[in-house]
Amino acid sequence: MAKEEKEKDPKPVDWAARVKGMLKAELKRRNIGYRELAQRLEPLGIKENERNIANKIARGSFTAVFLIQCLDAIGVKKLRIEDA
């Protein structure tokens, strides 16, 4: 592959890290920890404990459903993707 072609190849995006960063940033903006997130998820019918939430977020491999549930539980109405 020529040097010019290599420079045009985009870097692969670490999607898990990007989504994890978005959720963590929204939690931080609202000063909400994992324990409080677990408490806020309960009225939505989601039973998670602080440790399970911490593990899911650390792995960054949670589902889109879990992401939306968390965002709803903490009151996020708009999410700016380009900031992530």
Residue 1 pLDDT exceeds 80: no
Amino acid at position 39, single letter: Q
The verdict on residue 4 lying in a domain is no
Asked if the structure places residue 83 within a domain, the reply is no
Residue 42 lies in a domain: yes
pLDDT at res. 58: 94
- Whole-model pTM: value is 0.81
Q: What is the 3-state secondary structure (H, E, C) of the chain?
A: CCHHHHHHCCCCCCHHHHHHHHHHHHHHHCCCCHHHHHHHHHHHCCCCCHHHHHHHHHHCCCCHHHHHHHHHHCCCCCCCHHHC
Contacts of 4 (CB under 8 A, 6+ apart): none
On whether residue 54 sits in a domain, the answer given is yes
Domain ranges, residue 60:
14-78
Indicate the number of domains in the chain.
1
Half-sphere exposure of residue 45: CA atoms within 13 angstroms, side-chain side: 1
For residue range 8-22, what is the model confidence (pLDDT) as tens digits?
A: 768 888 989 999 999
Q: 16 with 60: CB under 8 angstroms?
A: yes
Residue 8 lies in a domain: no
